[in-house]
Amino acid sequence: MLFIGVCGASGSGKSTLARELVRDIGATSVVLNQDAYYLDHSHLTFEERTKLNYDEPCIFDHDLLYEDVCSLLNGRSITRKAYDFTQHKRADTTEVIQPADVLIVEGIHSFYDQRLLEKMFLKLYIQVEPDVCLLRRIRRDIKDRGRAIDNIAAQYLATVKPMYDRYIRNYIQEADVVVMKGGKNARIVDILSGFLKSALQK
């Protein structure tokens, strides 16, 4: 199994790149979204949950993600984790995920856990201008997560931009490949998928 990490700012195109690679490689694949591994804060009220910093590294259950990755790498199935962004609560499923030829973990802090980094066959960092990422985030949060523009702007200024400056932009130093222009960069997708197909054949 090839284990690939995809990292970058919110709205940079991580999920898109993962989907494009899966489509191009043509092998059996599993994509784990780090967003599904937020710690469970269901003991807090909804208002309290809305005030949490969802862009800092410690908001994620890194141990659970690491356990799931290790299980898949060792040939064991897992259940799919999920998160309800409208209620800010975990929403895990009973869907069984079987090991595959390719495993991709994507997220803003997918390079945070050194244990995961050491297991990755290929580390990809997506480099996109912050203003482009912000526009993509606004569109996504309004369309998919039912949020108002004022709420999105407040969160961006309070947590998204500060955590990007403090952590996320520095993850580029861990990358094997820096992907410019986001996940729909067809040329780099072709190059990466060709490399991964060759690695699978070996």
Q: Convert the pLDDT of each residue in 110-122 to its tens digit.
A: 999 999 999 999 9
Can you give the length of the chain in residues?
202
pLDDT band at 70 (very low <50, low <70, confident <90, very high): very high
pLDDT of 178 = 94
If DSSP codes are grouped into helix, strand and coil, which group holds residue 157?
A: helix
Biggest CA-to-CA distance, the chain? 52
For residue 152, is pLDDT > 90? no
Q: Global pTM?
A: 0.89
pLDDT at 148 over 90: no
Q: For residue 182, what pLDDT is reported? A: 75
Contact 198, 144 (CB under 8 A): no
Contact 30, 100 (CB under 8 A): yes
Q: Band of the pLDDT at 50, cuts 50, 70, 90?
A: confident
In angstroms, the CA 111 to CA 197 distance is 23
pLDDT at 80 over 90: yes
User: Which phi and psi (to 5°) does residue 113 adopt?
Assistant: -85, 115
Beta strands in the chain (DSSP E): 2-8, 29-33, 78-79, 83-84, 89-90, 96-97, 102-107, 122-127, 177-180
Identify whether the C-beta of residue 16 lies closer than 8 Å to the C-beta of residue 182: yes
Q: Is the pLDDT of residue 137 over 90?
A: no
Structure tokens that stand for 74 in this block: 């060792």
Counting the structural domains of the chain, the total is 1
Q: What is the pLDDT of residue 158?
A: 83
Per-residue pLDDT at 17 exceeds 90: yes
Mean pLDDT of 125-131: 84
Distance CA 159, CA 167 (A): 11
Stretch 65-76: mean pLDDT: 98
Q: Which domain holds residue 195?
A: 2-201
CATH of the domain at 57: 3.40.50.300
On whether the CB atoms of residues 125 and 177 are closer than 8 A, the answer is yes
Q: How high does pLDDT run on average in the chain?
A: 91
